[in-house]
């Protein structure tokens, strides 16, 4: 807090007339809650948890050490009664006399400063973590259930960013100077043709030969298959089988290790352990990944989810094989349910099943046989629909959106997913189209279904092909692997002399 901060627009509101929920929403979002925002009517704790996870909050408030554009900041006139309420809401205590003096001397206070010092403070996280741990899932919230004070201590007190990679400086230097890079990937959905595609693209960009091999968990653990590779990449979905054994082996491998976290926005314990044991972490979602920075890995750019069920050749074959399939007008959706998690999402989806479409199902994760079915069977089930509901766990862009568009259907998503711009331009979202509805609003969803069916029928076969090609060319697993390897190459300064001589640019090595 400093008095020389630029004073931006002052919100002309009497803060004393607002409820606790309205007050904390105003501080975080610079506006009062909209009627459709269900979490705003829950409780103050639930609202705080939701606000911290909301992309809108992250965009409007600068984290420590960064600068938010002045146009995004607002200010409020603060008095002692409002300050005491904010301290009670955020920290469960009264401000000290010294804290009161510091704030009141400012008179007009930046909402960003209030967020950073109160809502986003270590003390606030810790207070909420203790409350959450003692109350379970009673607040019907979608996330933050698993936070414990130990993880928060690590985030707040340890700044080990890049520690693991720095210990591998000799390995990284050797890889950077090599004209040949060997990459091991633990995955399904990456055919030989896909691996050759990635290698060719990386050679054209960096001028190095890249050999990519797919390996499985058994090979990693029983045969020590990581020996001889320069880089190893896996996803968190491949770690559940013998997790402790895998992390121990990966942590000790001499290869540069990277993990793609599809669930960083709700699988906090697993994600934190990955950031402790891998050299590089790629979150799939921008909301809910700041806690990873307190661990030892380098945190890479957000790499969104994508299609992983089918390779490029499989997708092309299946799409054209089943393109004439008769499609239903009814809304389709299939979602996993996990005990104690995603209560609000699952409750809404069950109401959709009852009142809108019986083709929207919530299935217990241990009873869902989707990934045990054949590739034809899965593709054909999706391709039998004009419109597919792509609901989120919490404000994330789910893989099912890409699956839906790949089979030619029109995806329907909740409004306000900021990460959509990581994958689609506004023009693409309009042209495909991707239809949005107000979260939690059945009438808005019904209107979105009508619009999506209309757009599907209007566009016909050509629009189905356009949706398929957009995904097949840009959002398959091979595209994401290329993206992650390219960032690793830049991080390690992997670049042949030929590329450097022809003006390939420079990159800063972090090891």
**Which pLDDT score is estimated for 67?**
43
Q: Please list, in sequence order, all residues whose beta carbon lies within 8 angstroms of the beta carbon of residue 303, skipping any fewer than 6 positions away.
A: 260, 282, 283, 284, 480, 483, 484
In this structure, the answer to whether residues 326 and 293 fall within a common structural domain is: no
C-alpha Rg value of the chain to the nearest Å: 24
Better-scored residue on pLDDT, 217 or 13: 217
In this structure, the answer to whether residues 294 and 404 fall within a common structural domain is: no
In this structure, the answer to whether residues 318 and 456 fall within a common structural domain is: yes
The answer to whether the bond into 172 is cis (omega within 30° of 0) is: no
- Average pLDDT of the segment spanning 242-247: 93
Collapsing DSSP to helix, strand or coil, 425 comes out as: coil
- Average pLDDT of the segment spanning 393-405: 91
Strands 231-235 and 75-77: unpaired
Question: Which of 327, 315, 453 minimizes the C-alpha distance to 379?
Answer: 315
Q: Please list, in sequence order, all residues whose beta carbon lies within 8 angstroms of the beta carbon of residue 45, skipping any fewer than 6 positions away.
A: 128, 131, 132, 139
Residue 52, token pair as written in the block: 């911290």
The answer to whether the bond into 435 is cis (omega within 30° of 0) is: no
Task: Say yes or no to pLDDT of 409 above 60.
Answer: yes
**Which pLDDT score is estimated for 490?**
85
Q: Is residue 465 part of a domain?
A: yes
- CA-to-CA distance for 153 and 59, rounded, in angstroms? 25
pLDDT in tens, 8-65: 467 767 788 888 888 888 888 877 776 656 554 557 877 777 776 665 566 566 443 3
212 bridge partner residues: 183
- CA-to-CA distance for 96 and 488, rounded, in angstroms? 47
- CA-to-CA distance for 6 and 148, rounded, in angstroms? 37
- CA-to-CA distance for 74 and 142, rounded, in angstroms? 28
Q: Give the side-chain half-sphere CA count within 13 A for 158.
A: 20
Q: Is residue 230 part of a domain?
A: yes
In this structure, the answer to whether residues 182 and 265 fall within a common structural domain is: yes
In this structure, the answer to whether residues 257 and 339 fall within a common structural domain is: no
- Final residue of a structural domain among 306, 337, 353: 306
- CA-to-CA distance for 378 and 151, rounded, in angstroms? 38
Name the DSSP letter for residue 263. T
- Final residue of a structural domain among 306, 330, 348: 306
Q: What's the CATH code of the domain at 372?
A: 3.40.50
DSSP annotation string for 237-258: GGSSTTHHHHHHHHHH-SSEEE
- CA-to-CA distance for 104 and 78, rounded, in angstroms? 7
Task: Say yes or no to pLDDT of 216 above 60.
Answer: yes
Task: Say yes or no to pLDDT of 171 above 50.
Answer: yes
Residue 385, token pair as written in the block: 């629909």
Better-scored residue on pLDDT, 66 or 429: 429
In this structure, the answer to whether residues 367 and 320 fall within a common structural domain is: yes
**Which pLDDT score is estimated for 510?**
35
pLDDT in tens, 446-457: 999 999 999 999
* Model confidence pTM above 0.75: no
Better-scored residue on pLDDT, 266 or 458: 458
pLDDT in tens, 330-342: 999 999 887 766 7
Q: Is residue 1 part of a domain?
A: no
pLDDT in tens, 103-153: 888 888 888 788 878 887 767 766 665 554 444 443 333 333 333 333 333
- Average pLDDT of the segment spanning 204-224: 90
**Which pLDDT score is estimated for 498?**
44
- Average pLDDT of the segment spanning 214-230: 87
**Which pLDDT score is estimated for 500?**
44
Band (pLDDT 50/70/90 cuts) for residue 495 is low
Domain range for 102 is 15-144
Q: Is residue 505 part of a domain?
A: no
**Which pLDDT score is estimated for 20?**
87
In this structure, the answer to whether residues 295 and 331 fall within a common structural domain is: no
pLDDT in tens, 282-325: 999 987 677 777 678 888 888 999 999 999 999 999 999 999 99
Question: Which of 73, 114, 74, 77 minimizes the C-alpha distance to 95?
Answer: 114
Q: Could you report how far apart the first and last alpha carbons of the chain are, in Å?
A: 34
In this structure, the answer to whether residues 135 and 172 fall within a common structural domain is: no
- CA-to-CA distance for 21 and 38, rounded, in angstroms? 12
- Average pLDDT of the segment spanning 340-368: 88
**Which pLDDT score is estimated for 343?**
75
What b/e string do you get for 45-63 counting C-beta neighbours within 10 Å, with b at 16 or more? bbbbbbbbbbbbbbebbbe
**Which pLDDT score is estimated for 56?**
59
In this structure, the answer to whether residues 176 and 111 fall within a common structural domain is: no
Q: How many domains does the chain have?
A: 3
Q: Is residue 503 part of a domain?
A: no
Least confident of 32-36, 79-83, 232-236, 474-478: 32-36
In this structure, the answer to whether residues 317 and 463 fall within a common structural domain is: yes
**Which pLDDT score is estimated for 426?**
86
In this structure, the answer to whether residues 328 and 458 fall within a common structural domain is: yes
Q: How wide is the angle at C-alpha 177 spanned by C-alphas 191 and 166, nearest 5°?
A: 90
Mean pLDDT of the chain: 81
Strands 410-414 and 435-437: parallel
Q: Give the side-chain half-sphere CA count within 13 A for 279.
A: 25
* Alpha carbon distances (Å) from 257 to 129, 186, 494: 31, 11, 15
* Alpha carbon distances (Å) from 267 to 81, 185, 294, 402: 38, 22, 16, 22
In this structure, the answer to whether residues 257 and 187 fall within a common structural domain is: yes
């Amino acid at each position: 807090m400093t008095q020389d901060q630029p004073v931006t627009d002052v919100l002309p509101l009497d803060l004393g007339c607002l409820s606790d929920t309205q007050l904390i929403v105003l501080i975080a979002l610079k506006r009062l809650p909209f009627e459709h925002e269900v979490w705003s009517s829950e409780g103050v704790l639930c609202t705080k948890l939701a606000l911290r996870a909301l992309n809108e909050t992250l965009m409007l408030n600068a984290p420590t050490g960064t600068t938010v554009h002045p146009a995004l900041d607002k200010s409020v006139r603060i008095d002692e009664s409002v300050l005491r309420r904010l301290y009670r809401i955020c920290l469960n205590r009264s401000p000290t006399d010294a804290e009161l003096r510091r704030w009141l001397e400012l008179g007009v206070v930046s909402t960003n400063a209030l967020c950073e010092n109160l809502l986003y403070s270590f003390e606030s996280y810790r207070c909420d973590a203790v409350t959450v741990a003692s109350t379970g899932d009673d607040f019907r919230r979608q996330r933050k259930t698993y936070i414990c004070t130990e993880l928060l201590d690590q985030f707040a007190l340890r700044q080990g960013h890049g520690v693991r990679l720095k210990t591998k400086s000799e390995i990284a230097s050797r890889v950077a100077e090599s004209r040949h890079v060997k990459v091991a990937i633990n995955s399904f959905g990456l055919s030989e043709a896909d691996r050759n595609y990635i290698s060719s693209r990386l050679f054209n960009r960096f001028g190095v030969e890249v050999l990519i091999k797919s390996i499985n968990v058994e090979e990693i653990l029983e045969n020590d298959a990581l020996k001889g590779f320069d880089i190893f990449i896996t996803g968190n979905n491949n770690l559940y089988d013998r997790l402790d054994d895998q992390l121990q082996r990966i942590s000790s491998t001499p290869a540069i290790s990277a993990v793609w976290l599809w669930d960083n926005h709700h699988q906090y314990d697993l994600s934190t352990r990955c950031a402790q044991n891998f050299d590089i972490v790629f979150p799939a979602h921008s909301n809910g990944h700041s806690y990873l920075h307190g661990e030892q890995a380098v945190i890479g750019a957000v790499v969104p989810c994508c299609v992983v069920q089918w390779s490029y050749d499989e997708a092309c074959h299946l799409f054209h094989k089943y393109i004439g399939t008769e499609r239903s007008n009814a809304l389709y959706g299939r979602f996993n349910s996990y005990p104690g998690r995603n209560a609000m999402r699952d409750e809404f989806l069950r109401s959709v099943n009852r009142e809108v479409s019986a083709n929207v199902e919530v299935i217990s994760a241990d009873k869902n046989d989707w990934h045990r079915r054949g590739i034809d069977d899965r593709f054909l089930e999706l391709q039998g629909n004009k419109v597919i509901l792509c609901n989120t766990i919490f404000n994330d862009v789910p893989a099912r959106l890409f699956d839906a568009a790949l089979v030619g259907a029109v995806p329907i998503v909740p409004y306000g997913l900021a990460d959509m711009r990581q994958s689609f331009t506004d023009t693409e979202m309009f042209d495909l189209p991707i239809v949005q509805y107000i979260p939690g609003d059945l009438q808005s969803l019904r209107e979105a279904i009508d619009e999506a069916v209309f757009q599907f029928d209007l566009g016909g076969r050509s629009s189905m092909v356009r949706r398929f090609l957009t995904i097949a060319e840009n959002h398959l697993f091979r595209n994401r692997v290329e993206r992650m390897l390219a960032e690793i190459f830049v991080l390690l300064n992997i670049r042949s002399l030929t590329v450097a001589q022809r003006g390939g640019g420079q990159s800063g090595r972090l090891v």
